[in-house]
């Protein structure tokens, strides 16, 4: 069944008064296509070909309205010619075919790359769409849950591809209704469709799909892993869809485990997974119940709501009997094909999902921008959470001033209170890869030398290995002579193992060795200190012992000094003084000898007692005893 219409086609403002066929194909989250075929007499083929080439890129305005009755709205479609063909197949005449797309096709330019930080979805969408004339797209942005996204990347995608992926990932409606570009909640009109009255046929389809799955996610900022089940979330459905969900669970009883490896809101993994799980499930069940059919209502648009009913009356053998009207539900139109022939007779084929659907059927939270490993420049290395992360800037972010969020860096060893903490400096080059090739989940693999930033090591034989900080502190390993050198920034302190069994420690100012120190008492219990003035200080808290073979010198904290040895010699070239505040005792198991080449004085301020055994002998050349 088709209905007569008044169809108007304008190409660059010029009407096409006669055509063979007009087809407009409209789908959610896709460019609309149109095709116009009209005949050209033989004598006008040459001029028509010349004119046809000028129609590439031309604006097209199409309107279709019923000629026998009136509806509130006519079909209005705007587009652009992308292709023109001249067809000669039968007879003397020719056909011109104009193929084209909706105005959204102008958003299908060369792939581009950029990023957004801490932006709402509506802000990102507006930034993209605002680059195009508003009179062509008439954008309508209506997002119920307009969440702020921490980091969003458009990577080697056209503007339309990016918005299409963003809509699918967030479970949002995105379509052109012939006049407006809608992102978010549908701009809907409700149309009542009665079978037998402008609705020539319809089909209510029901099916089963897998609806049992788990999302496994990991939040590195809290080292927390969670597993969320689709059974833990509820979705808004009608009675039939709810029944089909339960049937689907029986038909596909196996639960799929899916790794959700997209970025997760820090320290909010449970809510994040729940929201993404809900989007995926809502999209999965949205087309368990579908409606399709053929109608003559030319004003139908994508996103409109159709209510399908049986007529309340039926005619049979010229007798009219009253029937109870049957309501088959209300549906969002997701696909529609408009067809109009040369006589102006029009019909459409439509496809729809239940109006209770909260997400369109193309929703997919796993859609990500795919990126390859590339270099970047370090912008910040002072991680506020102390997770040894850095922020980098890719070359394609430099113009906008954008940079990544805090991202993790690969290290050979990591753990609680341990690991290797060596971060690149701000302004230095690093190589970055992406987990699961997801451009929104970068990870730093390591730092890179370049023409302006060289190590200063290397050379023939590659025998020098080393680690050097920005201040010049370094550890150098020499595989040629087997030596190891550890030195500070000015080179005034160094420790060297020469590879031949020798080691040396050098300090330009002071060399100190401390044992038993801690944060509260850094001076420790024992300390050896040597300075560049030639001073050596050895300090202990309890005792000091020097032992060589059978000889030893021990000093105790109470002031006692013990000197032990087989032969003890005290010798100097000047004067030796023994001074004590109390007694001096000299004892020997055998003989004590005191010898002086010159005079010897024994003086006391009190009595002098000399006691011998069997005898006492005092002998000299001249002896005086008084």
How many domains, in total, are found in the chain? 5
Q: 25 and 93 share a domain?
A: yes
The answer on 482 and 435 residing in a single domain is: no
Residue 140 lies in a domain: no
- The last residue of a domain, from among 47, 71, 105: 105
Same domain, yes or no, for 407 and 487? no
The pLDDT of residue 1 is 61
CATH number at residue 16: 2.30.300.10
Q: Are 262 and 312 in contact (CB under 8 A)?
A: no
My answer on whether 502 and 515 are in the same domain is no
> Which residue among 79, 105, 131 closes a domain?
105
- Quick check: is 200 in a domain? no
Q: pLDDT (tens digit, 9 = 90+) per residue, 195-234?
A: 988 899 999 999 999 999 999 999 999 999 999 999 999 9
pLDDT digits (tens, 9 = 90+) for 301-340: 999 999 999 876 555 554 555 566 789 999 999 999 999 9
pLDDT confidence of residue 91: 67
Residue 488 falls inside a structural domain: yes
Q: What pLDDT does residue 148 have?
A: 95
Q: For residues 443 and 366, what is the distance between their CA atoms, to the nearest angstrom?
A: 19
CA angle 533, 538, 542 (to 5 degrees): 160
Q: Given this model, what pLDDT does residue 43 score?
A: 66
Please give the Cα distance from 570 to 587 (Å, whole number). Answer: 16
Are both 514 and 501 inside the same structural domain? no
Residue 620 binned pLDDT confidence (cut-offs 50, 70, 90): low
* Backbone φ, ψ for residue 459 (5° rounding): 100, 180
Q: In CATH, what number is assigned to the domain containing residue 394?
A: 2.40.50.230
Do residue 16 and residue 42 come from a single domain? yes
User: How confident is the model over 352-371, as a mean pLDDT?
Assistant: 97
Sign, CA torsion 408/409/412/414: negative
- CB of 424 within 8 A of CB of 411? no
The pLDDT score that the predictor gives to residue 40 is 80
* Per-residue pLDDT at 579: 72
Ramachandran area for residue 338 (φ above 0: left; ψ -120 to 50: alpha; else beta) = beta
Nearest to 331 by CA among 362, 300, 310: 300
Are 425 and 483 found together in one domain? no
The pair of three-digit structure tokens given for residue 592, joined into one six-digit string: 């004590």
Average pLDDT over the chain reads 88
**C-alpha R_g of the chain:** 47
Helix (H) or strand (E) holding 169: helix 159-170
* pTM, 2 dp: 0.84
Q: 475 and 531, same structural domain?
A: no
| 496/522 same-domain check | no
Residue 378 exposed, middle or buried by CB count within 10 Å (0-12, 13-18, 19+): buried
In a domain? residue 363: no
Instruction: Answer whether residue 384 is part of any domain.
Output: yes
Tens-digit pLDDT profile for residues 37-48: 988 877 666 677
Task: Decide which of 359 and 44 is more confident.
Answer: 359
Among 105, 136, 156, give the residue marking a domain's end. Answer: 105
Same domain, residue pair 405 and 493: no
Task: Give domain status of residue 455, yes or no.
Answer: no
* Selection from 482, 509, 506 nearest residue 494 by Cα: 506
Residue 69 has pLDDT above 80, yes or no: no
Under a CB-based contact definition with an 8 Å cutoff, are residues 189 and 301 in contact? yes
Which pLDDT score, from 0 to 100, does residue 495 have? Answer: 84
pLDDT at residue 20 tops 70: yes
The confidence score (pLDDT) of residue 313 equals 57
The three-class DSSP label of residue 50 is helix
Average pLDDT, integer, range 477-493: 85
CA dist list (Å): 5 to 82, 98, 101, 197, 201:
26, 21, 23, 16, 20
Query: Which tokens is 102 given?
Result: 């909706």
Q: Are the C-beta atoms of residues 298 and 324 closer than 8 Å to each other?
A: no
Q: How confident is the model at residue 104 (pLDDT cuts 50, 70, 90)?
A: very high
55 within a domain of the structure (yes/no): yes
Q: Are residues 43 and 85 in the same domain?
A: yes
521 and 495 in one domain?
no
Its domain, for residue 218, covers: 208-285
Higher pLDDT, residue 541 or 167: 167
User: pLDDT grade, residue 70 (50/70/90)?
Assistant: low
């Amino acid at each position: 069944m088709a209905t007569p219409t008044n169809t108007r086609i304008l190409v660059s403002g010029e009407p096409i008064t006669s055509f063979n066929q007009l087809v407009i194909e409209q789908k959610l989250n896709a460019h609309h296509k149109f095709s116009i075929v009209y005949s050209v007499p033989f004598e006008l083929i040459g001029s028509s070909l010349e004119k046809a080439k000028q129609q590439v890129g031309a604006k097209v305005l199409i309107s279709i309205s019923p000629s026998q009755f009136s509806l509130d709205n006519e079909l209005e479609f705007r587009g652009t010619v992308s292709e023109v063909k001249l067809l000669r197949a039968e007879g003397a005449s020719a056909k011109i075919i104009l193929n084209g797309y909706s105005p959204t096709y102008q958003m299908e330019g060369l792939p581009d790359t950029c990023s957004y930080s801490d932006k709402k979805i509506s802000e990102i969408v507006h930034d993209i769409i605002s680059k195009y004339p508003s009179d062509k797209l008439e954008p309508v942005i209506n997002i119920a849950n307009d969440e702020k996204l921490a980091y969003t990347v458009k990577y080697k995608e056209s503007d339309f591809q990016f918005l299409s992926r963003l809509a699918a990932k967030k479970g949002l409606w995105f379509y052109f209704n012939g006049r407006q570009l809608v992102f978010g909640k549908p701009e809907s009109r409700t149309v009542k469709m009665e079978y037998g009255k402008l609705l020539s046929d319809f089909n209510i389809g029901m099916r089963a799909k897998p609806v049992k799955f788990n999302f496994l996610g990991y939040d590195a900022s809290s080292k927390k892993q969670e597993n969320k089940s689709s059974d833990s979330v509820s979705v808004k459905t009608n009675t039939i869809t709810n029944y089909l969900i339960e049937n689907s669970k029986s038909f596909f009883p196996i639960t799929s485990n899916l790794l959700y490896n997209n970025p997760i809101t820090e320290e909010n993994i449970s809510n994040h997974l729940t929201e993404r799980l809900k989007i995926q499930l809502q999209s999965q069940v949205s087309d368990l119940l579908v409606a399709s059919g053929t109608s003559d209502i030319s004003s139908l648009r994508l996103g409109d709501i159709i209510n399908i009913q049986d007529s309340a009356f039926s005619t049979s053998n010229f007798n009219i009997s009253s029937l109870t009207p049957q309501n088959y539900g209300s549906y969002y139109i997701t696909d529609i094909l408009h067809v109009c022939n040369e006589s102006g007779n029009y019909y459409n084929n439509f496809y729809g999902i239940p109006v209770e659907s909260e997400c369109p059927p193309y929703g997919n939270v796993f859609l990500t921008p795919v990126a390859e490993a590339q270099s970047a420049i370090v912008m910040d290395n002072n991680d506020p959470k102390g997770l040894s992360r850095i922020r980098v800037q890719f070359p394609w972010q430099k113009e906008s001033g954008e940079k990544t969020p805090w991202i993790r860096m690969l290290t050979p060893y990591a753990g609680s209170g341990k690991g290797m903490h060596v971060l690149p400096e701000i302004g230095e080059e690093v190589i970055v890869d992406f987990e699961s090739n997801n451009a929104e989940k970068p990870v730093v693999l390591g730092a890179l030398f370049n023409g302006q930033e060289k190590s200063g090591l290397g050379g023939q034989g590659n025998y020098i290995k080393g680690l050097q900080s920005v201040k010049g502190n370094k550890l150098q390993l020499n595989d040629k002579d087997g030596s190891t050198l550890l030195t500070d920034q000015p080179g005034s302190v160094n420790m060297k193992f020469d590879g031949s069994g020798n080691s040396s420690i050098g300090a330009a100012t002071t060399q100190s060795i401390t044992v038993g120190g801690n944060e509260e008492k850094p001076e420790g219990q024992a300390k050896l200190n040597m300075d560049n003035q030639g001073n050596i200080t050895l300090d202990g808290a309890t005792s000091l012992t020097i032992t060589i073979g059978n000889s030893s010198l021990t000093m105790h904290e109470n002031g006692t000094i013990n000197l032990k040895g087989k032969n003890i010699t005290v010798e100097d070239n000047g004067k030796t003084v023994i001074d004590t505040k109390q007694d001096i005792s000299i004892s020997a198991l055998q003989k004590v000898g005191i010898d002086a080449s010159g005079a010897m004085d024994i003086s006391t301020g009190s009595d002098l007692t000399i006691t011998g055994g069997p005898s006492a002998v005092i002998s000299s050349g001249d002896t005086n005893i008084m």
